[in-house]
Structure 1
Amino acid sequence: MTPISQNSKTVVVTINAQSTAQTMEGFGAAGAWWAQDVGGWEDEKRRLIADLLFDSAKGIGLSFYRHNIGGGNGENIQDVWRRAETFEVAPGQYDWTRDANAMWMLRAARDRGVEHFVVFVNSPPARMTVSGLTTGEKDGKSNLSPEMYAEFSQYMVDVIRHLQDEENIPVDWLSPINEPQWNWSYKNGQEGCHYGPAEVLDLTRVLLETLQQNQLDVKLSLFESGEWKTADVYIEKLASDPQVWDALPHLSIHSYWSHARIKNAS
């Protein structure tokens, strides 16, 4: 340890509590992919983890929780921790007993007072994909064909409706896309789906219409960009449609390589 110089100056930091620089809505955690493992631990241990994460008296009291809706059919994913079951057993038909471990953790978050819930999707169900796999298309192109946009949208609506009505999970947000700029291919070790900027816009249009038709009270969180420096083309495409742009309360961009800057699309 380097000794402090006797000539070092004292730095005084003054906090003005009357001046608001930024408002933080909360702090949270995502359930991919640990929840489908930890949720199956013996009861004492999984309750301890849930208490430490979500209980404000016994732990850090997270206020946001992101629940992963899996695409299923992940046999090609070598790391079993990164596989995620899907509720869907046939078009429009669901087995709500699936993904039991992750569902246990979701309920545990609810019971411990988590205020906000985000449902997110890494890949559409395997049957909706071009490759038949949830890890991506063989050449890294979009793995969701336009003919499936409406069906994929209805699938997400059905799942959220069940969580809200049957599980009493107050889902605030739906995040339908994750890191779309990467060339997700069938060789990847996790679920993923590539979308170009125009595809993100088109899917968002369909999804907004589906939400309205189903009168589902949930907001869209787009578009979970994998980095800042390649996010601008997606932002500009979304902003090119005023109706879509006005329907987006915020943009979701991951902080990897966050030293890069993007253009202001507002």
Structure 2
Amino acid sequence: MDASNEQMSDQSPHELLYTVNRRWDCLQAIVKEPQEKRTLVETLSMPRSTLDTVVRELEGADLVTYHDGVWQPTVAGEATAAVYSDTVDSIRSITTAGQVLSPLSGDHGVPTVAVEGADSFPAEEPVPDAVLTEFLDRIADADRIRGVAPRALSGYTDRVFRTAADNDTVLEMTLADSVFERLSTLNPETVADRLQRPLFSVYRAPVDVEFGLWIGDNPNHIGLIVYADRGVHGVVINRTPAAIEWATGRYRSIQAAAEELTPADVPEA
């Protein structure tokens, strides 16, 4: 057994990860394109003496090898680089989503699959509610939207229905009891009109989530709306099959206790 293989066999996964993290720029460059040492010096803007130390460390971990005058990745090195890159991307998306989800309580019910691989859109001053255009844009693009609204947002509820109507999007909304009561009290004629539209189905139900939730079909995705004390804290959107499966199950559990609304349920003005 040579020295490099012996070092590799002695490395724990944590030690290997430490090496990859410290020497990532060099490993990434070699995986992207095998290079001569002098080319690597230019690519990395690194002194030759420092580069010697770096590539020998990567070689000792069996991540790169020197062959035919160039440094190139081993099979393990190429695979490790791919896994490391994916992991960094996942952590980055989770961290960003975590910032958006920070107002939620400890018993929020949002699993890892809902945030891993997600795109996050934090609200920004001076108009934090403007982030809801992310939701409106996806209503316009989708064939169908199923949503749960635990809270009403002044000025946006009607835009949701108008955007769906303008784009022939099938809209199925489940409202918390308090949301329906508020909307039908503030503007009963508009609510009654919405309930008569053929592409719209509106339900009321006990909603036990503290975030808004929607599921979009074609393109398939899910979205979470996180509320602030006033308005919106941000939006998280995820297209992964695992996130869609979770959101669909969550939606169906709420729908199981839902009651479809008709114009007769709206109090007279």
Please state which band the TM-score falls in when normalised by the shorter chain. under 0.3
TM-score, structure 1 normalization: 0.25
Higher Rg of the two aligned structures: 2
Larger fraction in strand: 2
Higher relative contact order (CA closer than 8 Å, sequence separation 6+)? 2
- In terms of fraction of residues, the more helix-rich structure is 2
